[in-house]
Structure 1
Amino acid sequence: MQTTLMIYDGTAPADSDVPRTGGVPLAPSGFTWPMCGSCCGGPLQFFAHLPVEDGVLSVFVCQNDPGACEFWDATSGANRVYLFPGRNCSR
Protein backbone atom coordinates (compact mmCIF):
# COMPACT_ATOMS: atom_id res chain seq x y z
CA MET A 1 0.00 0.00 0.00
CA GLN A 2 1.36 3.43 -0.95
CA THR A 3 0.57 6.52 1.13
CA THR A 4 1.15 10.08 -0.05
CA LEU A 5 1.68 12.47 2.82
CA MET A 6 2.06 15.71 0.86
CA ILE A 7 2.02 16.71 -2.77
CA TYR A 8 4.06 19.61 -4.09
CA ASP A 9 1.90 21.51 -6.56
CA GLY A 10 4.21 24.44 -7.20
CA THR A 11 4.37 27.79 -5.46
CA ALA A 12 1.33 29.77 -4.36
CA PRO A 13 1.15 33.57 -4.12
CA ALA A 14 1.53 34.87 -0.55
CA ASP A 15 -2.02 36.27 -0.62
CA SER A 16 -3.63 33.12 -2.04
CA ASP A 17 -6.61 31.46 -0.32
CA VAL A 18 -5.37 27.93 -1.16
CA PRO A 19 -4.13 25.40 1.42
CA ARG A 20 -0.41 25.92 1.99
CA THR A 21 2.38 25.57 4.50
CA GLY A 22 4.84 28.27 5.45
CA GLY A 23 5.04 31.76 4.05
CA VAL A 24 3.03 34.49 5.75
CA PRO A 25 -0.49 34.28 7.16
CA LEU A 26 -3.40 36.18 5.61
CA ALA A 27 -4.02 38.08 8.82
CA PRO A 28 -6.22 41.16 9.15
CA SER A 29 -4.74 44.60 9.70
CA GLY A 30 -3.59 45.11 13.29
CA PHE A 31 -2.88 41.42 13.91
CA THR A 32 -0.39 40.90 16.74
CA TRP A 33 2.08 38.08 16.11
CA PRO A 34 1.55 35.27 18.67
CA MET A 35 4.22 34.44 21.23
CA CYS A 36 4.92 31.11 22.91
CA GLY A 37 3.08 30.82 26.21
CA SER A 38 4.84 27.59 27.15
CA CYS A 39 8.51 27.67 28.10
CA CYS A 40 10.40 30.06 25.85
CA GLY A 41 8.20 33.15 25.28
CA GLY A 42 9.53 33.59 21.73
CA PRO A 43 7.52 34.26 18.57
CA LEU A 44 5.57 31.34 17.14
CA GLN A 45 6.32 30.17 13.60
CA PHE A 46 3.54 30.35 11.00
CA PHE A 47 2.94 26.76 9.97
CA ALA A 48 -0.12 26.39 7.75
CA HIS A 49 -2.95 28.24 5.99
CA LEU A 50 -6.11 26.10 5.74
CA PRO A 51 -9.26 27.41 4.02
CA VAL A 52 -12.52 26.47 5.76
CA GLU A 53 -16.15 27.42 5.15
CA ASP A 54 -16.06 30.50 7.43
CA GLY A 55 -12.63 31.81 6.38
CA VAL A 56 -9.08 30.56 6.82
CA LEU A 57 -7.35 28.86 9.72
CA SER A 58 -3.82 30.09 10.38
CA VAL A 59 -1.79 27.63 12.41
CA PHE A 60 1.24 28.73 14.48
CA VAL A 61 3.65 26.49 16.46
CA CYS A 62 6.73 27.07 18.59
CA GLN A 63 9.97 26.03 16.92
CA ASN A 64 12.36 28.27 18.85
CA ASP A 65 14.01 25.37 20.68
CA PRO A 66 12.62 22.24 18.97
CA GLY A 67 11.50 19.66 21.49
CA ALA A 68 11.59 22.04 24.47
CA CYS A 69 8.05 23.42 24.09
CA GLU A 70 5.23 20.92 23.71
CA PHE A 71 3.70 22.40 20.55
CA TRP A 72 1.70 19.19 19.98
CA ASP A 73 -0.25 19.70 23.25
CA ALA A 74 -3.35 21.85 22.65
CA THR A 75 -3.16 23.34 26.15
CA SER A 76 0.60 23.99 26.38
CA GLY A 77 0.59 27.54 24.99
CA ALA A 78 3.18 26.57 22.37
CA ASN A 79 0.66 26.73 19.52
CA ARG A 80 -2.19 28.90 18.29
CA VAL A 81 -4.85 28.60 15.60
CA TYR A 82 -6.70 31.70 14.41
CA LEU A 83 -9.83 31.83 12.28
CA PHE A 84 -9.57 34.83 9.96
CA PRO A 85 -12.24 35.92 7.48
CA GLY A 86 -11.47 34.66 3.99
CA ARG A 87 -11.27 36.84 0.94
CA ASN A 88 -14.92 36.10 0.13
CA CYS A 89 -16.17 36.58 3.71
CA SER A 90 -17.27 39.87 5.18
CA ARG A 91 -14.57 41.42 7.39
Structure 2
Amino acid sequence: MYDLTGFQRDLLYVIAGEEEPHGLAIKEELEEYYEKEIHHGRLYPNLDTLVDKGLVEKGRRDRRTNFYTLTRRGQRELEARREWEAQYVDL
Protein backbone atom coordinates (compact mmCIF):
# COMPACT_ATOMS: atom_id res chain seq x y z
CA MET A 1 0.00 0.00 0.00
CA TYR A 2 2.94 2.33 0.70
CA ASP A 3 3.81 2.41 -3.00
CA LEU A 4 0.38 3.61 -4.11
CA THR A 5 -0.51 7.21 -4.82
CA GLY A 6 -3.27 8.85 -2.81
CA PHE A 7 -5.49 8.67 -5.90
CA GLN A 8 -4.90 4.92 -6.18
CA ARG A 9 -5.76 4.45 -2.50
CA ASP A 10 -8.95 6.43 -3.05
CA LEU A 11 -9.80 4.14 -5.96
CA LEU A 12 -9.44 1.14 -3.64
CA TYR A 13 -11.77 2.69 -1.08
CA VAL A 14 -14.42 3.47 -3.70
CA ILE A 15 -14.21 -0.03 -5.17
CA ALA A 16 -14.46 -1.55 -1.68
CA GLY A 17 -17.53 0.55 -0.89
CA GLU A 18 -19.51 -0.38 -3.99
CA GLU A 19 -20.65 -3.71 -5.39
CA GLU A 20 -18.79 -4.33 -8.64
CA PRO A 21 -18.67 -0.69 -9.72
CA HIS A 22 -17.98 0.15 -13.34
CA GLY A 23 -15.49 2.82 -14.36
CA LEU A 24 -18.05 5.59 -14.77
CA ALA A 25 -19.51 4.96 -11.30
CA ILE A 26 -16.02 5.11 -9.78
CA LYS A 27 -15.31 8.29 -11.73
CA GLU A 28 -18.52 9.93 -10.48
CA GLU A 29 -17.79 9.05 -6.84
CA LEU A 30 -14.30 10.52 -7.05
CA GLU A 31 -15.51 13.64 -8.85
CA GLU A 32 -17.98 14.23 -6.05
CA TYR A 33 -15.25 13.78 -3.43
CA TYR A 34 -12.57 15.81 -5.25
CA GLU A 35 -15.09 18.40 -6.47
CA LYS A 36 -13.51 18.41 -9.91
CA GLU A 37 -13.54 16.41 -13.11
CA ILE A 38 -11.53 13.20 -13.27
CA HIS A 39 -10.33 12.56 -16.81
CA HIS A 40 -10.43 9.09 -18.33
CA GLY A 41 -6.70 9.39 -19.01
CA ARG A 42 -6.11 9.52 -15.27
CA LEU A 43 -8.74 7.05 -14.12
CA TYR A 44 -8.22 4.02 -16.32
CA PRO A 45 -4.41 3.83 -16.23
CA ASN A 46 -4.59 3.95 -12.42
CA LEU A 47 -7.24 1.23 -12.35
CA ASP A 48 -4.99 -0.85 -14.62
CA THR A 49 -2.08 -0.31 -12.22
CA LEU A 50 -4.19 -1.65 -9.35
CA VAL A 51 -5.11 -4.67 -11.47
CA ASP A 52 -1.43 -5.22 -12.36
CA LYS A 53 -0.48 -5.06 -8.67
CA GLY A 54 -3.06 -7.73 -7.85
CA LEU A 55 -5.18 -5.43 -5.65
CA VAL A 56 -8.17 -5.20 -7.98
CA GLU A 57 -9.76 -7.62 -10.39
CA LYS A 58 -11.36 -6.40 -13.60
CA GLY A 59 -14.41 -8.22 -14.95
CA ARG A 60 -16.52 -7.66 -18.01
CA ARG A 61 -20.26 -6.89 -17.99
CA ASP A 62 -20.60 -6.46 -21.71
CA ARG A 63 -18.47 -5.40 -24.67
CA ARG A 64 -18.17 -1.83 -23.42
CA THR A 65 -18.43 -2.05 -19.64
CA ASN A 66 -15.92 -3.43 -17.17
CA PHE A 67 -16.47 -3.76 -13.45
CA TYR A 68 -13.96 -3.81 -10.64
CA THR A 69 -13.70 -5.74 -7.37
CA LEU A 70 -11.07 -5.95 -4.67
CA THR A 71 -8.99 -9.08 -4.56
CA ARG A 72 -8.26 -10.76 -1.24
CA ARG A 73 -4.90 -9.05 -1.30
CA GLY A 74 -6.58 -5.69 -1.93
CA GLN A 75 -8.90 -6.28 1.02
CA ARG A 76 -5.96 -7.21 3.28
CA GLU A 77 -4.04 -4.12 2.17
CA LEU A 78 -7.01 -1.86 2.96
CA GLU A 79 -7.47 -3.49 6.37
CA ALA A 80 -3.76 -3.05 7.14
CA ARG A 81 -3.94 0.60 6.07
CA ARG A 82 -6.95 1.25 8.32
CA GLU A 83 -5.17 -0.38 11.27
CA TRP A 84 -2.10 1.76 10.62
CA GLU A 85 -4.23 4.92 10.39
CA ALA A 86 -6.02 4.01 13.63
CA GLN A 87 -2.70 4.21 15.49
CA TYR A 88 -2.57 7.92 14.72
CA VAL A 89 -6.17 9.04 14.32
CA ASP A 90 -8.86 8.23 16.83
CA LEU A 91 -12.22 9.29 15.44
Instruction: Please classify the TM superposition score into its range, dividing by the shorter chain length.
Output: under 0.3
Higher strand fraction: Structure 1 or Structure 2?
1
Higher helix fraction: Structure 1 or Structure 2?
2
Question: Given the two structures, how large is their TM-score scaled by the length of structure 2?
Answer: 0.25
Question: Given the two structures, how large is their TM-score scaled by the length of structure 1?
Answer: 0.25
Q: Which has the higher contact order (CA 8 A, sep 6+)?
A: 2
Is the radius of gyration larger for structure 1 or structure 2? Answer: 1
